[in-house]
């Protein structure tokens, strides 16, 4: 991490969690306090939408985003970026689009577990629609399970049993072949 060509990006949730108007200023202040407290700082910015489903830019209105001023990751970056700078953190972003190829899938914005029908999104690139975004990335391996749908498992999370979660699903971190195949099948752009 001491190399001059290595940069760190801190996880910044996504627009559905921290993009709400009441969350933006406290989040920017918190991230800036972490940034300024790091000696020999190699933090370049924030990673958004890691292992989540928000598109970079919505193409159709999604009912689960109603009322949120940042319904996609581009609007989240554009909203929180200036607030970070105002708090002493001149942040840049990387945005995960590895599972963001299909919109309007979740029954609620907080649903996160192996969402049924998800597809891989924009390919990783450094060609982005905003100078605050360094790159589009795929952070979480596409076939890695978010969690098991087995209600008797020790690590079961009820989110993995919701109607919009693909079942049957293995334990978190395990390879989930059927989910991987869906990400390829529903990829947008297509492979």
Stated pTM of the model: 0.95
Structure tokens at 124: 């990783």
Q: Which of 111, 114, 129, 86 is nearest to 171 (CA)?
A: 114
pLDDT computed for residue 40 by the predictor: 75
Per-residue pLDDT of the chain (191 residues; tens, 9 = 90+): 677 888 999 999 999 999 999 999 999 999 999 999 987 788 999 999 999 999 999 998 899 999 999 999 999 999 999 999 999 999 999 999 999 999 999 999 999 999 999 999 999 999 999 999 999 999 999 999 999 999 999 999 999 999 999 999 999 999 999 999 999 999 999 99
Contact, 159 vs 172, CB < 8 A? no
pLDDT computed for residue 1 by the predictor: 62
**181 Cβ partners below 8 Å, 6+ apart?**
none
3-state secondary structure of 125: strand
Q: Which of 182, 184, 7, 6 is nearest to 92 (CA)?
A: 7
Give just the sign of the alpha carbon dihedral 12, 189, 141, 54.
positive
Contact, 138 vs 97, CB < 8 A? yes
pLDDT computed for residue 86 by the predictor: 98
**Placement of tokens 């919009």 in the chain:** 164
Report the C-alpha gap between 149 and 92 in whole angstroms.
36
């Amino acid at each position: 991490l001491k190399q001059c060509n290595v940069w760190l990006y801190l996880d910044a949730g996504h627009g559905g969690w921290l993009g709400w108007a009441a969350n933006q200023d406290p989040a920017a202040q918190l991230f800036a306090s972490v940034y300024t407290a790091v000696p020999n700082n190699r933090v370049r910015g924030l990673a958004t939408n890691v292992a989540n489903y928000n598109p970079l830019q919505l193409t159709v209105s999604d009912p689960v985003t109603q009322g949120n001023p940042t319904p996609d990751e581009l609007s989240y970056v554009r909203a929180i970026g200036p607030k970070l700078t105002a708090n002493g953190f001149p942040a840049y972003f990387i945005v995960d689009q590895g599972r963001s190829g299909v919109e309007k899938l979740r029954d609620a914005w907080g649903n996160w577990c192996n969402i049924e029908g998800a597809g891989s999104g924009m390919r990783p690139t450094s060609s982005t629609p905003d100078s605050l975004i360094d790159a589009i990335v795929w952070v979480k391996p596409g076939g890695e399970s978010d969690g098991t749908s087995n209600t008797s498992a020790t690590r079961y999370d009820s989110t993995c049993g919701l109607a919009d979660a693909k079942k049957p699903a293995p334990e978190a971190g395990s390879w989930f072949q059927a989910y991987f195949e869906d990400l390829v099948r529903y990829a947008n752009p297509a492979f």
